[in-house]
Amino acid sequence: MNGPPRISIVTPSFNQGEYLAATLQSLVDQDYPDLEVIIQDGGSADGSQDIAKQFTAAHPEIFSLYVEEDAGQADAINRGFRRATGDIMGFLNSDDKLEKECLQRGWQVLLFGSDNDQPIAEHIQRETDEGC
């Protein structure tokens, strides 16, 4: 492998406009060189689609938006995974955020192991939690 692997993150969203911008910004802030984010929106009517469109316009190399009715969160994630092209795939709910460098640390742990026992999941912060 020459360089870091491509990471695909699926973000399912349905009427999550209150949180979505912070979630997507946390992915931009990763500053990861080969990141694909698939926003899978189930037909939101609260402005979520407009927020997602702003991010896809500002960062077309990272974000793609798909708007289609789905059968719930699991279906939305699976639809996104079918579109994903990454070597590593994951999902980030539309009300969660990643800490800076989470993706960088995560792929290194997956490929090379870790010296500490801190799980990768500790680098995910739920938007509604205080100070995780």
pLDDT tens track for 82-125: 999 999 999 999 999 999 999 988 877 776 776 655 554 444 44
Closest CA to 1 of 123, 124, 107: 107
Residue type present at position 128:
T
pTM reported for the whole predicted model: 0.84
pLDDT of residue 116: 59
Dihedral, CA atoms, 58, 4, 84, 63, nearest 10 degrees?
-10
Residues 6+ apart with CB under 8 A from 50: none
**Each residue's pLDDT tens digit, 9-49:** 999 999 999 999 999 999 999 999 999 999 999 999 999 99
| Burial class of residue 16 in the structure, from the number of CB atoms within 10 Å of its CB (0-12 exposed, 13-18 middle, 19+ buried) | buried
Could you tell me where the beta strands, DSSP code E, fall in the chain? 7-13, 35-41, 63-67, 88-91, 96-98, 124-126
Residue 1 has pLDDT above 70, yes or no: no
Cα 16 to Cα 122: distance, rounded to the nearest angstrom: 23
In our burial notation (b when 16+ CB lie closer than 10 A, e otherwise), range 19-34 reads: bbbebbebbeebebeb
